[in-house]
Amino acid sequence: MVCQIKVLSFGSNELIRWRMCSMINYKNILNLSNDVYGSFQDDLSRDIYMARVMNSLTYDYNYITRITVDNIDVMDKLRKDIESYIREGRKLILDGAGYYGKSIKMTLNDVKFECFSDRNSQEKMIMGIPVLSRKEAVEKYPDALFIVDSMVYARPIKTELKQLGVEHILDFGSYLGKYGNARDNQYYDVFRFGDDEVIADVGCFDCYTMIQYFKYGNSKYKKIYSFEPEPHQYAHCKEIIEKGGYQNWDIYNYGVYDNNSKLYFSSNSSSTKISNDGDIEVDVIKLDDFFKAHEAPTFIKMDIEGAELAALKGCAETISRYKPKLAICVYHKPEDIFEIPEYILSLNPDYKMYLRHYTNLVNETVLYCE
């Protein structure tokens, strides 16, 4: 199989890491399709694809370092910063058992971490070390260095740790903020756009990426339909559109999904996403139903915090019938890099695909289809 041969070319340890997928629970997504791999149109896309595949299977951040825009090794910077704590003999605690916590554990595999501290994890052991509550971790390791891996929730987490008496805290989120700014041409550097594009902007947030279209895509367009579920962000975007005098740009206070219903969303300063514990109830719609009453899109841009596959399923008829250009984020979930390209090809096997990566971190990988 072509994809497997490509994987083995990364190095002698890759086959072992490949087989580690059973440990990380990806048995059901290991269908690396030759059709997907063969649909990528250049070596850069294929390299990004395999790097993301291996990162999804292993959480090893070294694969991401290979595709970052400035070739910056964020984990190496973290290693250098914790060396002084190691020399002091301090124990190391990873606060957060999500993607970044697992990535730190996997990538700095020669560093001893005593445990994960996480208030939400249902697991007792992850990657060979225990998962404790923050209170349990502080009681057991009162003088340890706690490495907070969240960029979004770092402030309240650090406040909680300080209230529990923790004196030594390293904010990994600050690394993400420092090195995580995306390139402005994201979503627009692969395609050529005409003057009559009908654009579906799925995940408007603050209008920034759509306004960048006028610079990197085309200053002319026929119609823009933007969708933003978070009420305050929707109002903010609507104000920007009105004050900017933009014509033929409509925005809707909807989420986009695979059905027409209501869902709960959680919101913070940088994103809004579906969550059973969310505090915002939002109307969600199928794009197929929306575009039965509106002109079909020629370009769909989608960045919706892990709901991309569901939104694409709600747009299956539109994609199959009209074959719009697509720019879809494929980094929010480890399985996205497997499932989203394969699903799009199932709708229209004639799509030609490209992948591009826009930061020095794991986030902002975009799949382009035309």
For the stretch 12-53, pLDDT in tens is 344 334 334 443 444 444 455 567 888 999 999 999 999 999
For the stretch 152-197, pLDDT in tens is 678 889 999 999 999 999 998 787 666 666 678 999 999 999 999 9
Residues of the chain with CATH 3.40.50.720: 74-179
- Specify the 3-state DSSP secondary structure of 263: strand
The CATH code that applies to domain 74-179 is 3.40.50.720
Q: Say if residue 177 is exposed, middle or buried (CB neighbours under 10 Å; 0-12, 13-18, 19+).
A: middle
At 99 the pLDDT is 76
Measured distance CA(320)–CA(201) in Å, rounded: 19
Going residue by residue through the chain, which has 370 residues, state the pLDDT in tens, using 9 for 90 and above: 333 333 333 333 443 343 344 434 444 444 555 678 889 999 999 999 999 998 888 888 888 888 887 767 788 888 999 999 999 999 999 999 887 888 888 888 889 999 999 877 778 898 899 999 999 999 999 999 999 988 767 888 999 999 999 999 999 878 766 666 667 899 999 999 999 999 999 999 899 999 999 999 999 999 999 999 999 899 999 999 999 999 999 999 999 999 999 987 765 444 566 766 667 888 999 999 999 999 999 999 999 989 999 999 999 999 999 999 999 999 988 889 999 999 999 999 999 999 999 887 788 899 999 9
At 24 the pLDDT is 40
- Exposure class string for 144-154: b at 16+ Cβ within 10 A, else e: bbbbbbbbeeb
Tell me how crowded residue 68 is: count the other CB atoms within 10 A of its CB: 19
Torsion angle, alpha carbons of 263, 266, 269, 270, to 10: -70
CATH number (3.30.365.10, 3.30.70.3340, 1.10.10.10, 3.40.50.150) of 198-369 reads 3.40.50.150
DSSP 284-342: EE-HHHHTTSSPPPSEEEE--TT-HHHHHHTTHHHHHHH--EEEEE--SSTTHHHHHHH
Residues of the chain with CATH 3.40.50.150: 198-369
For the chain, the residue count is 370
At 363 the pLDDT is 83
Q: pTM for the complete prediction?
A: 0.78
Measured distance CA(257)–CA(311) in Å, rounded: 4
Query: How far is the CA of 277 from the CAs of 161, 266, 284, in angstroms?
Result: 22, 7, 17
Percent of the chain topping pLDDT 70: 84
Which segments within 21-117 are labelled E, that is strand? 92-95, 115-117
Task: Enumerate the β-bridge partners of residue 281.
Answer: 264
At 5 the pLDDT is 31
